[in-house]
């Protein structure tokens, strides 16, 4: 499943398919939401991913970026009385996944500059 499909699933899940509401929720410009929803843009910018994660922290970063696992993190289903170490471990996994995305983008930039 490509990023655009996952993007649309988030809009459906969080905002009942309402792209304008999603734009307001995430502070992503409406035109950008439309571009991704219509597959006019395929590869997400880091800033877009950050806005989604900030607005909807229950979304699994690993799922959002790679399409693997479940849309929602286990963290979204945890109670407030869970061990802080469990919550931190989940966040550490998300950070590691983001670092992989950044590394891949850096490598792409380097390759493009060398051409």
Per residue in 3-51, pLDDT (tens digit) is 999 999 999 999 999 999 999 999 999 999 999 999 898 888 999 999 9
What pLDDT, on a 0 to 100 scale, did the predictor assign at position 25?
A: 93
What pLDDT, on a 0 to 100 scale, did the predictor assign at position 73?
A: 75
Q: Give the number of other Cβ atoms within 10 Å of residue 102's Cβ.
A: 11
What pLDDT, on a 0 to 100 scale, did the predictor assign at position 111?
A: 87
What pLDDT, on a 0 to 100 scale, did the predictor assign at position 77?
A: 47
Dist. CA 12–CA 112, nearest whole Å: 35
Per residue in 65-110, pLDDT (tens digit) is 888 888 887 654 444 445 566 666 677 778 888 888 888 888 888 8
Q: Compute CA distances 115 → 105, 109, 110, 112, whole Å.
A: 16, 10, 9, 5
Dist. CA 52–CA 79, nearest whole Å: 22
Question: What backbone phi and psi angles, to 5 degrees, belong to 45?
Answer: -80, 155
């Amino acid at each position: 499943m490509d990023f655009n499909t996952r993007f649309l699933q988030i809009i459906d899940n969080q905002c009942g398919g309402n792209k304008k509401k999603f734009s307001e929720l995430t502070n992503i410009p409406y035109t950008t939401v439309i571009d991704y929803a219509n597959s006019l843009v395929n590869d997400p910018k880091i800033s877009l991913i950050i806005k989604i994660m900030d607005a909807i922290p229950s979304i699994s970063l690993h799922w959002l970026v790679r399409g693997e696992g479940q849309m929602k993190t286990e963290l979204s289903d945890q109670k407030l009385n869970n061990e802080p170490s469990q919550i931190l471990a989940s966040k550490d996994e998300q950070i590691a996944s983001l670092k992989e995305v950044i590394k891949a983008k850096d490598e792409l930039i380097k390759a493009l500059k060398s051409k």
